[in-house]
């Protein structure tokens, strides 16, 4: 792919690193700073993204729009871009279901754009081998080529939009739901007064679980405010497939109760703090 201009909407922890990766390959990466937080300004500056202030400028100068935002905002971002009559390639790389991705595709193609569905698996891009961007849609190979040779492993997996989102749903249905589950189990054991005994049993029969629980508290809990919408998307996707949706509906509720730890890192929350928050829903929000 020849040199491209990419509008990144909006540079959070993950999106910023993906934008920086595209820039390292020669793309010109724009972002719109209007009504964005000081933290977002700082991330974008460190990543070397170009601020063009508003959405109209970012979209008007770009051949590609890359949407990486919390799932609940994905439709609104698509509508805002479609209102600009964008006619390039719109890439939705958000954690949404196939049905939501297909609806986003209808919105942006009605505005004149081509649509590529994306799903990100892994951590923010800091080194090669940690993060994969799965892509589907007729123009998915063009977007994969944008990241060729970079630290981001971009993979086109088929011509039908929705496949990348479905893969992301299937993957996160395990990884993120089990973080919520193991923390909730510890909260239940604490309520029943058997937490110490449970940890002793885990050390015998399930030695990986205590470590998973500690990591879920420290690493996942600060991000779980973003999981609420994603878990709801997964629940709806499962229901649409005729499968029980209760697992992920409950995980959405757990994630909401842990929203009080939003972006709390270095150090992250302790298991004890997370247990207290789960047992006292008044702390959420």
Same domain membership, residue 125 and residue 38: yes
pTM over 0.75: yes
Q: What is the pLDDT along the chain (285 residues), one digit of tens a residue?
A: 455 899 999 888 899 999 999 999 899 999 999 888 888 889 888 888 999 989 999 999 999 999 999 999 999 999 999 999 999 999 999 999 999 999 999 999 999 999 999 999 999 999 999 999 999 999 999 999 999 999 999 999 999 999 999 999 999 999 999 999 999 999 999 999 999 999 999 999 999 999 999 999 999 999 999 999 999 999 999 999 999 999 999 999 999 999 999 989 889 999 999 999 999 877 654
Last residue of a domain, one of 143, 160, 177: 160
Same domain membership, residue 177 and residue 120: no
**Residue 89, phi then psi, degrees to nearest 5:** -100, 125
CATH number of the structural domain spanning residue 85? 3.40.50.720
**How far apart are the C-alpha atoms of 197 and 188, rounded to whole Å?**
13
Domain that holds residue 154: 5-160
> Tell me, what's the pLDDT at 153?
97
Q: Which residues, other chains included, contact 226 with Cβ-Cβ below 8 Å and sequence gap of 6+?
A: 70, 71
> Tell me, what's the pLDDT at 1?
44
Q: Is 55 left (phi over 0), alpha (psi -120 to 50) or beta?
A: alpha
Q: Domain tally for the chain?
A: 2
Same domain membership, residue 154 and residue 109: yes
């Amino acid at each position: 792919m020849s040199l491209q201009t990419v509008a990144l909407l909006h540079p959070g922890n993950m999106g910023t690193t993906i934008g920086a990766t595209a820039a390292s390959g020669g793309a010109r990466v724009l972002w719109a700073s209007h009504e964005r937080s000081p933290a977002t300004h700082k991330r974008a500056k460190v990543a070397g993204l170009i601020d063009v202030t508003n959405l109209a400028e970012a979209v008007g100068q770009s051949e590609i729009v890359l949407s990486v935002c919390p799932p609940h905002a994905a439709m609104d971002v698509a509508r805002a871009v479609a209102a600009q009559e964008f006619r390039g390639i719109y890439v939705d790389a958000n954690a949404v279901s196939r049905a939501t991705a297909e609806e986003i595709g209808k919105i942006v193609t009605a505005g004149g754009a081509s649509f590529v569905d994306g799903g990100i698996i892994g951590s923010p891009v800091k080194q090669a081998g940690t993060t994969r961007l799965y892509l589907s849609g007729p123009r998915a190979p063009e977007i994969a080529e944008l990241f060729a040779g970079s630290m981001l492993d971009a993979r086109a997996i088929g011509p039908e939009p929705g496949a990348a989102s479905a893969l992301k749903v299937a993957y996160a249905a395990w990884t993120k739901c089990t973080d919520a589950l193991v923390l909730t189990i510890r909260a239940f054991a604490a309520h029943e007064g058997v937490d110490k005994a449970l940890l002793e049993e885990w050390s015998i029969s399930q030695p990986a679980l205590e470590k998973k629980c500690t990591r879920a508290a420290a690493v996942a809990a600060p991000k779980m405010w973003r999981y609420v919408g994603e878990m709801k998307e997964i629940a709806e996707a499962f229901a649409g497939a005729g499968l029980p949706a209760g697992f992920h509906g409950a995980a959405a509720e757990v994630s909401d109760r842990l929203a009080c730890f939003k972006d709390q890192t270095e150090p992250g929350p302790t298991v004890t703090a997370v247990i207290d928050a789960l047992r006292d829903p008044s702390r959420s929000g």
